[in-house]
Amino acid sequence: MKELKKILSTSIYWYITMFLFAFSTVLDAQQKTTLTKVWTPDNGNGTFTNPIMWGDWPDPDIIRVGDDFYFISTSMHYVPGCPIAKSKDLINWEMAGYAVSRYDEDPRYDMKGGEMYLNGSWASTIRYHNGLFYAGFCTPYGIGRDKGQFSICTAKDVKGPWTRTIFPEYLYDPGLLFDDDGRVYVAHGQTTLYVTELNADALSVKVPQKKIYSNRDYPYLEGSHFYKINGKYYILGSTGGTTGRQVCLRSDSIYGPYESKVIINDDSTYPGNGLHQGGMLQLKDGSWWFMIMQDRGPIGRTSNLEPVTWVDGWPMLGVNGKGVITYKKPNIGVTHSIKVPATTDEFNSPELGLQWQWNHNPDPEKWTLVERRGYMRLKANKATDLIKARNTLTQRVQGPTSSGTIEMSVRGMKNGNIAGFGVFQSPYAFVAIKQENKSRSIIMVNNGKTIATINNFTGNTIWFKATVTHIGFTASFFYSTDGKNFKKMGDELKMGLGFDWTANRFALFNYSTTDEGIGGFVDYNWFRYNAN
């Protein structure tokens, strides 16, 4: 009997082991399949192809801390703000966290008394000093960006928690520098550049701004990134905007005089739009690399990785003055697996995935991942349209083509609710379920107008899909009542940039046009991304 039990135990153990192995193999294959459906710059053969991330990751700054690389970007009004990504090789990136959890300085960030589209974090800078990460950014206000505020956030870990300090001074497009003598500076400004000295903790101003540079040949010179290399001070900035170029200023003294040189003026990687604005770093092997953005219209300002060649003390980008398209990967001594920022979400976690950002500070009473486990529940606030609707949950569309699909349960909807899936910017478009007089219909809205309606929807579950392409910058919309057969609905959205410089995004939403509908809810079972 004892021998029989031993044999049975061994057999059960073997079967369990084989099951777990098979399950893990299938899961690994699924993960690899998922990765092939998302843009990756890693060609798997020791080379990469720009852009590094084919979506809206503008105004990049990068640093190296030991063997890890960190990337920070502008996110404007989206919350959380100041997205930070992490990499082991400068090619394969994953989201690591956000420097700003929410904006508390103005009730309009809660959509009370107005809205704050285009405000938030601009032109972020990131540095690491004495065991702390520092993330700085500006928030412009007013006509001509002549007013605003400047913030520094600090944390021991990029995952947080972060502590934010808002300065009384306004430092536009800041570039933070910890000098080797212990002093701290910020280069900032537009067209006319300034240097402001901070106190040793980098949390307050020590010496007010001093003008250091102005040159009519560089209109709208901005996006400063500040370095000290081999005893010289370098300020890297862009001029000319979308069609612009990258400029380098150099001086033996922090306050100048500065000499200048254009270090790249090229649009060959995306004709019509020049490489401009970004930051650089040095690898352990001594090589230098530059992460620089390129405007690709309503899909976003993408980031390209360019090799740096030092010529007579100037960091020249690309190869022979041209940005690289496919090029050998940086030499870090080891090969890392392909990774990409998360997209698809099954909503199985009690915490929101790092790929998601709200259109403003979210209302915590109107969304949950735990009331119905495995679902994202959105409860309706009152709004007249999607632009004014709080708790719109978004993530980046990507190029060159991409699609998003959702499954949504509508059992909890109330009269006045409009809930669905769309592509969000100004203009926006979406497909949705609308409930009026206890009757539901499927609608397609484009630029604020209802283009198509299918009345008397009686199901409890609906599937919506949106596809995006960089060819003509259009988006198309589809619905399904069985999750398998999708039908196109309405007309194409001509994606635009009404909210300047902020790309289009996939969006999940639920709002109510009536008081009666406040609190009505829908449950999103999943969002699935695919690079078409």
Burial label for 309, CB within 10 Å (0-12, 13-18, 19+), is middle
Q: Is the dihedral of CA 254, 255, 259, 264 positive or negative?
A: positive
Contact 508, 368 (CB under 8 A): no
Coil, helix or strand at residue 502: coil
Distance CA 204, CA 166 (A): 9
For 148, other C-beta atoms within 10 Å of its C-beta total 15
Q: Nearest 10 degrees: CA dihedral of 245, 40, 67, 202?
A: 50
The DSSP line for 23-63 is HHHHHHHHHHHHHHTS--SB-SSSEEES-SBSS---S-EEE
**Phi, psi of 407, deg, nearest 5:** -115, 130
Catalytic residue list: 59, 222
Cβ within 8 Å of residue 41, ≥6 positions away = 48, 49, 50, 51, 52, 53, 91, 305
For Cα atoms 503, 190, 75, give the angle at the middle one, nearest 5 degrees.
25
Which residue from 414, 404, 385 is spatially nearest to 463, judged by alpha carbons? Answer: 404
Q: Would you tell me how many other CB atoms lie within 10 Å of the CB of residue 370?
A: 11
Q: Hey, what are 382's tokens?
A: 């009152």
Say how far apart CA 289 and CA 292 lie, in whole Å: 10
First-residue to last-residue Cα distance in the chain: 60
Q: How far is CA 367 from the centre of its chain?
A: 21
H-helix or E-strand containing 402?
A: strand 401-409
Decide: 403 and 468 in contact? Cβ < 8 Å: yes
